[in-house]
Amino acid sequence: MVVQKFGGTSVADPDAVRRLIEIARAPRARDGRGPVVVVSALSGVTDTLLAIAAEAGAARADQALAHVGRLRERHLAMARALAGDGALAALTSQIDAQFDELTAVVCALAVLREVSLRTLDVIAAMGELLSSRIVAAALVHAGLPAEWVDARRAIVTNDDHTRAAPLMRETTAALRALVVPLVADGRVPVLGGFIGATAEGHTTTLGRGGSDYSGAIVGAGIDAGEIQIWTDVDGMLTADPRIIPQPRLVPRLSFAEAAELAYFGAKVLHPSTIHPAVERNIPVRILNSRKPGGAGTLITAEPNPDGHELTAMAAKRDLTVVDITSSRMLMAYGFLRRVFEVFERFRTAVDVVTTSEVSVSVTVDDRRHLDSIVEALSEFAEVSIEGEMALLCAVGDRLRAEPEIAARVVRVLEEMPLRMISQAASRRNITVIMRQTDLPHAMHRLHEEFFG
């Protein structure tokens, strides 16, 4: 049985959903059951919902409501194009009820002038609640026995709103109760990705791009044979196609490589997607919903058999480098503990760390608590920060055994000032930090050298 996750562009309009329907028929024809379908919000909708929340919180209710009106129209038009006549009235009233709720929330926020993370999740979750209902109705109209499942009942998370983590034991129990019986009964369960709820029933979201993660959580929870991520590119590419115009398709990846690439910025996979698949050893495939016949990228536990020196590269922008220098000159025992305790206290993850005798440099992505972090670090160290930095990460299983490859990566970038260089124990990646303005040139140089 297969779990198929469709991203925003793969459900963006009626034609995209028609392609989805044909894609969902294929595993059913082969396996005689399934698939389980997980969908993102229609493309752009999550961004708009977050903009609506921000406008409402800033008391710009008119602007927010104008956006709400346009979103409502877009979803109703999708429903009219895709649902059967018999089901349209019910679907329309569900969509209207969702937008009436959104309107009420916007009006309340405009008065309160404050948006809590919990409320933000209620608003952000509406995109997937709507798209999943529309897709379920479209599948039914196309003759597939689809059944909408409320993902807030199936994915149980902690209460870390806007970046909640699933509680796998509870989630697996919920999936076994809600989704597995539907599959056994020959149905096609359809869930919204990205969303869940706490055990108390408060709506949560898994972080931007989190529908991939939902697809993998569902796959692991129901012991799927494969998790398919349907998107708008042919698979994992050797580099971000928004920076490198003609990257190559990577046909095979190991779980370890995929996890590194996703963590270090390959947007095609949410950073946590691979973990549930690893737990149950379920293959993940990335596929292009516009070219359903393509082979895509297959990700499994096996080391990448393709044998290229590097497998792919990834990049992250908008990083800040924090340099922390011990004021006692020599790096005292316990210094690193104190440094990282500060990042922990402010719940800020660091991506890359390098050290010298007297200083530590780290990169952070999340700037929300940066001022407080600098203040706390300044109590025992000299601190300076530098923004607009970028990370470039080259990944490949062969880096482990062949140190020459890492040396070549650094040599290719030699005319660029590299702020930090790091290779950790897994030695599956080499990561460099540079000024953001140097990133495109650096990526071109590396891509030309290793994939040109």
Give me the phi and psi of 246, to 5 degrees please. Answer: -125, 65
Min dist. Cβ of residue 297 to ligand ADP (A): 8
> Looking at beta carbons only, is 209 or 221 nearer to ligand ADP?
209
Confirm or reject binding of residue 127 to ligand ASP (CB under 6 A).
Answer: yes
Burial 167-196 (b: 16+ CB within 10 A, else e): bbeebbebbeebbbebbeeebbbbbbbbbb
From the list 267, 176, 189, 262, the residue with the least C-alpha distance to 222 is 176
Interface stretch with ligand ASP, choices 39-47, 76-84, 227-235, 340-348 (CB under 6 A): 39-47
- Contact assessment for residue 203 and residue 32, using Cβ atoms and an 8 Å cutoff: no
Choose which of 166, 196, 210, 219 interacts with ligand ASP (CB under 6 A): 210
* C-alpha R_g of the chain: 23
Interface stretch with Mg ion, choices 17-25, 153-161, 207-215, 297-305 (CB under 5 A): 207-215
Choose which of 1, 2, 4, 7 interacts with ligand ASP (CB under 6 A): 7
Instruction: Give the footprint of ligand ADP on this chain (CB under 6 A).
Output: 7-10, 40, 209, 231-233, 236-237, 239-242, 266-268, 312, 314
Which sign does the torsion angle of CA 27, 28, 34, 38 carry?
positive
> Looking at beta carbons only, is 172 or 228 nearer to Mg ion?
228
Min dist. Cβ of residue 378 to ligand ADP (A): 36
> Looking at beta carbons only, is 8 or 221 nearer to Mg ion?
8
Confirm or reject binding of residue 271 to Mg ion (CB under 5 A).
Answer: no
Choose which of 35, 209, 215, 247 interacts with ligand ASP (CB under 6 A): 209
Confirm or reject binding of residue 4 to ligand ASP (CB under 6 A).
Answer: no
Choose which of 27, 57, 127, 209 interacts with Mg ion (CB under 5 A): 209
DSSP tally for the chain: helices H, then strands E: 16, 17
Find tokens 């990335």 and name the residue: 286
> Looking at beta carbons only, is 35 or 210 nearer to ligand ASP?
210
Burial 97-106 (b: 16+ CB within 10 A, else e): ebbeebbebb
Interface stretch with Mg ion, choices 109-117, 172-180, 202-210, 253-261 (CB under 5 A): 202-210
Amino acid found at 136: A
Burial class from Cβ neighbours inside 10 Å (0-12, 13-18, 19+) for residue 385 reads middle
Confirm or reject binding of residue 8 to ligand ASP (CB under 6 A).
Answer: yes
From the list 166, 228, 211, the residue with the least C-alpha distance to 46 is 211
Query: Which run of H or E residues covers position 122?
Result: helix 117-124
Whole-Å CA distances, 379 to 76, 196, 387: 56, 40, 22
Min dist. Cβ of residue 234 to ligand ADP (A): 8
Helices (H), 296-426: 335-345, 370-378, 403-412
Interaction partner, residue 241 (Mg ion, ligand ADP, ligand ASP, none; CB < 5-8 Å by kind):
ligand ADP
Nearest residue by C-beta to Mg ion? Answer: 209
Interface stretch with Mg ion, choices 9-17, 50-58, 183-191, 204-212 (CB under 5 A): 204-212
Min dist. Cβ of residue 327 to ligand ASP (A): 42
Q: Which of residues 164-203 bind ligand ASP (CB under 6 A)?
A: 193-194
Min dist. Cβ of residue 319 to ligand ASP (A): 20
Strand ranges (DSSP E) for 223-283? Answer: 226-231, 252-254
Min dist. Cβ of residue 451 to ligand ADP (A): 11
Task: Give the separation between CA 97 and CA 106, rounded to whole angstroms.
Answer: 14
Whole-Å CA distances, 306 to 248, 302, 312, 396: 13, 11, 12, 10
> Looking at beta carbons only, is 10 or 198 nearer to Mg ion?
10
Confirm or reject binding of residue 34 to ligand ASP (CB under 6 A).
Answer: no
Contact residues: Mg ion, CB under 5 A: 7, 209
